Amino acid sequence: MQIETTRVAVIGAGYMGGGIAQTLTKAGAQCILIDQTPESARQGHARVIEQARDFEAKGYFPAGSAADIESRLTWSGDLASAVADADLIFEVVYEDLDVKIDVLTRIEQFARPDAIIASNTSAIPIGAMAEALTKPERFFGIHWFNPAQLLPGVEIIPAALSDRSLVPGLIELLTAAGKEPAVVPDTPGFVCNRLQFALFKEAALMVEEGEVTAEQIDTVVKASFGFRLALYGPFAVADMAGLDVYANSYKSLEKALGERFTVPDSLRERVEAGDLGIKSGGGYLGLNEDEAKRLIGARDNAYVALAALRRELASTPS
Ligand SMILES: NC(=O)c1ccc[n+]([C@@H]2O[C@H](COP(=O)([O-])OP(=O)(O)OC[C@H]3O[C@@H](n4cnc5c(N)ncnc54)[C@H](O)[C@@H]3O)[C@@H](O)[C@H]2O)c1
């Protein structure tokens, strides 16, 4: 999908819908914003334009971006006519299955048969919404992260009946908009939110147990494994740390905290087979010796740069 020739409709002109519309128009798409009432669509449009001007003034967006966005972004109070011309339609309304199904079925009623419809749901199964549609093959989850105009990641989530031949076009469009799309399965929470909410639950539990405060946890996380996660996923981190170290740590945690900290089967099997991560060659990412050396070199360089950026940000008045 060529972004310059793609007409987008965004239903839900709130926080995420505004960010999605801003990102896509900045990169060249034409976009129309719709909300529950004409007034809320107009307000959403005004917010996007005002924020784009602010971001340009602060140097976050290149010069001319706000004018480009303004020239490509419109709003409407009429869903039927707004979606009728669109090639790609984003549903970005409240996180409620009934509300989403109501909006999605209305979108489908007025959209072109060849339009692609996408939901930005955080955690509702894509398949549960697809069931309500007459053309589930044209429907996907496309999950952006907050704030959509600044975070690179986007999850593309085909459901069981989604037409997979449409995925390369979606990747092309999102990449042209400066994103790093990843195709992920329609499993609970997809990839990001299952992991993000698992971490949050454990952190909340620690605070509820009363031994540690929210502030202490945030201080530790952002300076330790959160620092690493800015650059590497959990498997690269584990491979670099040593899988034997991980397995032994799980054993101690399991003794104190029980079954939810049992050594994961795949980790136990690797360690039993002598695969300790990059120090033995292999690991979850299967890096050979040369690749492992390059990873460590790049990591050290990146950590020095990231530490410098953190110091710079900490000393910049907000
Ligand atoms: N906020 C986040 O961090 C975040 C991140 C990723 C995904 N999401 C998902 O994005 C979606 C929107 O979240 P948000 O944070 O932008 O919420 P929001 O409340 O800022 O915006 C929702 C918008 O939808 C509009 N709306 C509600 N019902 C509608 C209808 N029937 N027709 C047209 N418009 C309607 C509301 O008026 C509002 O402007 C949710 O599914 C949410 O889970 C949110």
Residues 58 and 156 in one domain: yes
Residue 238, pLDDT above cutoff 80: yes
Instruction: Check residue 316 and give its pLDDT.
Output: 85
Question: Cα–Cα distance between 174 and 138 in angstroms, integer?
Answer: 17
Residue closest via CA to ligand 1's atom 38 equals: 14
148 C-alpha to ligand 1 centroid (Å): 12
Q: Determine the residue of 32, 36, 93 to mutate for testing ligand 1's pocket, defined as the one with the most ligand atoms within 8 A of the Cβ atom.
A: 93
Q: 230 and 166, same structural domain?
A: no
Give the mean pLDDT of 145-167.
97
Token output for 6: 């793609």
Which band of pLDDT confidence, cut at 50, 70 and 90, is reported for residue 172? Answer: very high
- In this structure, the answer to whether residues 147 and 78 fall within a common structural domain is yes
Q: Counting atoms of ligand 1 from 1, which one is nearest the CA of 13?
A: 39
- Percent of the chain's residues with pLDDT above 90: 98
Same domain, 259 and 135: no
Give yes or no for a contact between 156 and 146, defined as CB atoms under 8 angstroms apart.
no
Residue 288 C-beta-side C-alpha neighbours within 13 Å: 1
Q: Is residue 71 located within the same domain as residue 164?
A: yes
* Mean pLDDT computed over every residue of the chain: 97
The DSSP call for residue 286 is T
User: Is the pLDDT reported for residue 196 higher than 90?
Assistant: yes
Residues 105 and 162 both lie in one domain: yes
End position of a domain, from candidates 153, 183, 213: 183
DSSP-based three-state secondary structure for 273: coil
Q: What average pLDDT does the segment 121-146 reach? A: 97
Asked if residue 91 belongs to a domain, the reply is yes
pLDDT of 69: 98
What are the backbone dihedrals phi and psi of residue 85, each rounded to the nearest 5 degrees, phi first? -95, -5
Q: Give the CATH number for residue 113.
A: 3.40.50.720
| pLDDT, average across residues 117-130 | 97
Q: 119 lies in a domain? A: yes
Question: What residues line ligand 1, using a CB cutoff of 6 Å?
Answer: 11-17, 35-36, 40, 92-95, 99, 103, 120-122, 144-146
Reply yes or no on whether the pLDDT at 317 is more than 80. no
The pTM (predicted TM-score) of the whole model is 0.95
The pLDDT value given to residue 161 = 96
Shared-domain flag, residues 277 and 134:
no
- 82 pLDDT more than 90: yes
Task: Note whether 120 and 16 are within 8 A (CB).
Answer: yes
Task: Give the range of the structural domain holding residue 255, as residue numbers without chain letter.
Answer: 224-315
- The half-sphere exposure of 3 on its side-chain side, counting CA atoms within 13 A, is 18
Q: Can you name the residues that pair with 74 across neighbouring β-strands?
A: 32
| pLDDT band per the 50, 70, 90 thresholds, residue 314 | very high
Are 23 and 116 part of one and the same domain?
A: yes
Is residue 196 situated within a structural domain?
A: no
127 with 75, same domain: the answer is: yes
Output the pLDDT for position 229. Answer: 97
Same domain, 79 and 156: yes
**Cα torsion through 81, 82, 83, 84, rounded to 10:** 40
Testing ligand 1's pocket by substitution, the residue of 100, 122, 143, 184 carrying the most ligand atoms inside 8 A of its CB is 122
121 and 36 assigned to the same domain: yes
User: Which pLDDT score, from 0 to 100, does residue 257 have?
Assistant: 96
Do 37 and 173 belong to one domain? yes
Number of domains in the chain: 2
- Statement: residue 195 has pLDDT above 80: yes
- pLDDT bin (cut points 50, 70, 90) of residue 270 is very high
Q: What is the largest distance, in Å, between two alpha-carbon atoms of the chain?
A: 64
What's the mean pLDDT in 74-103? 97
